[in-house]
Amino acid sequence: MKDFRRRLQKVRADAREFTLMSQQATDMEKRELFRRLADELAFEALELELIVKKSEPPDPSNPHEVVEFKPPSERKRG
- Domain containing 65 equals 2-74
Domains: count for the chain: 1
Q: Which of 4-8, 44-48, 52-56, 61-65 comes out lowest in average pLDDT? A: 61-65
CA dist 64 and 78 (Å) reads: 30
Cα 15 from chain centre:
4
What percentage of the chain carries pLDDT values higher than 70? Answer: 71
Report the predicted TM-score, pTM, of the whole model to 2 decimal places.
Answer: 0.67
| Cα–Cα nearest to 1, from 54, 76, 47, 55 | 55
Closest CA to 6 of 69, 68, 51, 36: 51
